[in-house]
């Protein structure tokens, strides 16, 4: 089993804002960190200027971090890997990287999403992609976290999940600091679904805010969004109580209300009348809720769970309805008893 005491070699795969923030956090704890960037020019710029000017420009890259765009270099020194690439690239990146990692590595997924074609979570993709003979251990990290706030050392709580609690505790000790509190869980599926599905609900909340519907509508969307997430998760075998925790309710509230939420921002601009094409042209980071919406709808159909908010978001994103039509559709559904 991998030791995660001080001076562990860690590779962070993905140099977006969140990947860079996690790399800095680990480096400040004394770990030797390699940060892999997809863009060679970004890796070179970080190495030269010691700042991620593209995704996290307001914070220096810690001296303990070595940036690279070479997967072979990223794989060499590490015993722990943190995967923070966008959900649609996880399989491609790890199909190559998985062949290179050492035996018995600990791989921690910090990507929030659901693969569109297979409807699998990120940890399931990792487990299917990394060769079995590597005997890698997979855990996940999720919860209400904005990279800028973590980088500013604002108190933050997050959750790590693994099938075995001993693994989750190792991840807990790897990341925990005086301002970054990590809880453990063994409901891997529930933690991952919460982190992925809340992005869809955040788009809906953004649309509501863009239409200037106010606090009543936002509260209703958050509450009923949580109900959709919980019902789907329970039908898939996750624990319902997980969705009341940090990766469910916690992350849902943050992304539905926080000004730094990309998904909420996309929804707000759609509510204000912008087209999806124009909105996405203005975003230089991945907006996971846009790709997760169709996955949420397909999962609802597969497990026979009503997903009216997710269905409305998917229809809006695909141009089948307008923002106001989406609201009308939700408000005029058949009356029913509240259930969670």
As annotated, the residues of the chain forming the CATH 1.10.1040.10 domain(s) are: 192-331
**285 touches 17 (CB < 8 A):** yes
Backbone phi and psi for residue 230, each to the nearest 5 degrees, phi listed first: -70, -45
**What is residue 58's DSSP assignment?**
E
Fold of the CATH domain 192-331: 1.10.1040
Q: Which residues are tagged catalytic?
A: 198
- In CATH terms, the superfamily for domain 9-186 is NAD(P)-binding Rossmann-like Domain (3.40.50.720)
Mean of pLDDT values over 128-138: 97
Each residue's pLDDT tens digit, 176-217: 999 999 999 999 999 999 999 999 999 999 999 999 999 999
Q: Which residues pair with 52 in a beta bridge?
A: 56
Each residue's pLDDT tens digit, 241-280: 999 999 999 999 999 998 899 999 999 999 999 999 999 9
As annotated, the residues of the chain forming the CATH 3.40.50.720 domain(s) are: 9-186
Give the CA angle between residues 207, 286, 214 to the nearest 5°: 15
Give the CA angle between residues 55, 275, 92 to the nearest 5°: 45
Segments of 134-284 assigned E as strands: 137-142, 156-161, 180-185
Nearest one of 182, 57, 27, 56 to 110, comparing CA atoms: 182
Q: Look at residue 104 in the predicted model and tell me its pLDDT.
A: 96
Q: Look at residue 339 in the predicted model and tell me its pLDDT.
A: 73
């Amino acid at each position: 089993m991998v030791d995660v005491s001080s001076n562990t070699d860690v590779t962070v795969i993905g140099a977006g804002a969140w990947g860079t923030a996690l790399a800095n956090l680990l480096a400040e704890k004394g770990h030797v960190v390699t940060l892999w960037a997809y863009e060679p020019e970004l890796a070179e710029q970080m190495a030269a200027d010691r700042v991620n000017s593209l995704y996290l420009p307001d914070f220096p890259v810690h001296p303990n971090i070595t940036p690279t765009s070479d997967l072979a270099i990223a794989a060499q020194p590490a015993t722990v890997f943190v995967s923070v690439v966008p959900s649609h690239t996880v399989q491609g990146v790890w199909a190559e990287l998985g062949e290179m990692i050492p035996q018995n590595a600990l791989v921690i997924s910090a990507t929030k999403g659901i693969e569109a074609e297979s409807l699998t979570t990120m940890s399931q993709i990792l487990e299917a992609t990394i060769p079995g003979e590597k005997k890698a251990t997979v855990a996940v990290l999720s919860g209400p976290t904005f990279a800028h706030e973590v980088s500013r050392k604002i108190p933050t709580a997050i959750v790590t999940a693994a099938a075995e609690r001993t693994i989750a505790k190792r991840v807990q000790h790897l990341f925990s600091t005086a301002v970054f509190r990590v809880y453990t869980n063994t409901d891997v599926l529930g933690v991952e679904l919460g982190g992925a599905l809340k992005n869809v609900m955040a788009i809906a909340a953004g649309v509501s805010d863009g239409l200037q519907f106010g606090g009543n509508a936002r509260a209703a969307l958050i509450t009923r969004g949580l109900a959709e997430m919980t019902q789907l998760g329970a039908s898939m075998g996750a624990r319902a109580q997980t969705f009341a925790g940090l990766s469910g309710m916690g992350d849902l509230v943050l992304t539905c209300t926080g000004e730094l939420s990309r998904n909420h921002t996309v929804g707000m601009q759609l509510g204000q009348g912008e087209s999806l094409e124009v909105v996405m042209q203005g975003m230089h980071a991945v907006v996971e809720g846009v790709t997760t919406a169709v996955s949420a709808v397909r999962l609802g159909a597969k497990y026979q769970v009503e997903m009216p908010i997710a269905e409305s978001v998917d229809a809006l994103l695909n141009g089948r309805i307008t923002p106001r039509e989406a609201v009308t559709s939700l408000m005029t559904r058949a009356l029913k008893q509240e259930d969670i």
